[in-house]
Amino acid sequence: MKKHNFSAGPCILPDSVMQKAAHAVQELDGSGLSLIEISHRSPAFIEIMDKACASALDLLGLTGKGYKALFLQGGASMQFLATAYNLLENKGAYLNTGTWATKAIKEAKLLGEVVEVGSSADANFNYIPKNIEVPADADYLHITTNNTIFGTQIKTLPESDAVLVSDSSSDIFSRQLDFSKFGIIYAGAQKNMGPAGTTLVIVKEDVLGKVTHKIPSMLDYSIHASKDSMFNTPPVFAVYTSMLTLEWLTNLGGISAIEEKNNAKAALMYGEIDRNPLFKGFAAMEDRSTMNATFTLEEASLKEKFDSMCADALINGINGHRSVGGYRASMYNALPQESVQVLVDVMKELERIA
Ligand SMILES: *Cc1c(COP(=O)(O)O)cnc(C)c1O
């Protein structure tokens, strides 16, 4: 029996994607060869890479606007360093909205001056700082559009003339934003796009080539762009599976169609968290993430009961991150609304019997 998979990452992927990906490992499109045993320079794989890049730009509305899509390795964590390497000359401005942003700041500090233009560390990152001021001489402003661990999400992009860089690992392709405002968007595949092993980097080509220091080849976006993500052997399975998910999303009607579904799921989830006296939301209401709903049980004595009811209902992956505690229901693109309904029904049942 397939479980209701609320895992924060790696996480749920569409069934059809999983089936096609599994099949391609055995044999890619009747070629007599497995996806993972062919050359990444074969026409078949080059087509896969091209399609994945084209779909990513199309979905974001960035085709023909001077952007390049790259599929790299090392996770979002590697991009913490790579973004700084590629952009940091004077100083980098960072909005500190949680664990991942803190890690990005730590890496950038290896290379140069970093200013925190806002932080919600004072309240265990349960909100998004607003009205931030970015120094005029900052090379870029780094934000985390969705804070996976704390369940907050930036709803309005900050106004600034600096190049906007974003870690969008956990909400890429989940909602419409004006993506042309970004200089760089990066996202580890394993939250909303594919298996772990590749990281999508969308880069506006004119933000590159402005630093005076040398950049190690594997971290240099210009090199990866000039080689169409084939500077070294790309993670073919992760790229292929990501391509399938992007195709699935395109066929569904793109980001605006999935955003409607995601909003409906989030409304159902938060509606119950707010209605049910046994539960309490963690994140500030106006900053609540549509992807990761964080909440706690008001009475610790009910935890065992709730956990066993969830297990009986085949609910997987709702334990909160250790830095928040409680619960976290991750509702990525591929999670059906029925799964949210199952969780909501269990919460209602707990109230009834408590
Ligand atoms: C999961 C996550 C990361 C870490 O991604 P890796 O690919 O494991 O390096 C970074 N940022 C955010 C927002 C995440 O959700």
Task: Read off the pLDDT of residues 160-200 as tens digits, 9 standing for 90 and up.
Answer: 999 999 999 999 999 999 999 999 999 999 999 999 999 99
Last residue of a domain, one of 237, 252, 267: 252
| Domain co-membership, 92 together with 202 | yes
Q: What CATH number does the domain containing 277 carry? A: 3.90.1150.10
Atom of ligand 1 nearest to the CA of 149: 15
Residue 10, preceding bond cis, omega within 30 degrees?
A: yes
**pLDDT (tens digit, 9 = 90+) per residue, 29-65?**
999 999 999 999 999 999 999 999 999 999 999 999 9
Q: Are 258 and 174 in contact (CB under 8 A)?
A: yes
| Domain co-membership, 99 together with 64 | yes
| Domain co-membership, 157 together with 38 | yes
Last residue of a domain, one of 252, 273, 289: 252
Q: What CATH number does the domain containing 164 carry? A: 3.40.640.10
**pLDDT (tens digit, 9 = 90+) per residue, 214-240?**
999 999 999 999 999 999 999 999 999
- Token pair in block for residue 292: 């990761």
Q: Does 1 map to a domain?
A: no
* Average pLDDT score, the chain: 97
Which range of residues forms the domain containing residue 214? 15-252
The pLDDT, as a whole number, for residue 1 is 80
The residue contributing the CA closest to ligand 1 atom 3 is 76
State how many domains the chain has: 2
Backbone angles phi, psi at 183, to 5 degrees: -90, -40
Cβ neighbours of 170 (radius 10 Å)? 29
Q: What percent of the chain has pLDDT over 90?
A: 99
| Domain co-membership, 152 together with 20 | yes
Place of tokens 């993506």: 179
**pLDDT (tens digit, 9 = 90+) per residue, 94-116?**
999 999 999 999 999 999 999 99
Q: What share of the chain is helix, strand, coil (3-state, %, to 5)?
A: 40, 20, 40
Residues acting as catalytic residues:
100, 167, 191
| Domain co-membership, 226 together with 334 | no
Asked if residue 344 has pLDDT above 90, the reply is yes
Q: Does 3 map to a domain?
A: no
CA angle, 169 then 174 then 177, to 5°: 95
Q: Does 4 map to a domain?
A: no
Asked if residue 317 has pLDDT above 90, the reply is yes
The pLDDT, as a whole number, for residue 101 is 98
| Domain co-membership, 145 together with 227 | yes
| Domain co-membership, 112 together with 198 | yes
Cα(218) to centroid(ligand 1), Å? 19
Q: Which of 102, 128, 144, 148 to mutate to test the pocket of ligand 1 (most atoms within 8 A of CB)?
A: 148
Cα(57) to centroid(ligand 1), Å? 21
Claim: this prediction has a pTM higher than 0.95: yes
Last residue of a domain, one of 194, 223, 252: 252
* Ligand 1 pocket by Cβ (under 6 Å): 9, 75-77, 100, 144, 148, 167, 169-170, 188, 191
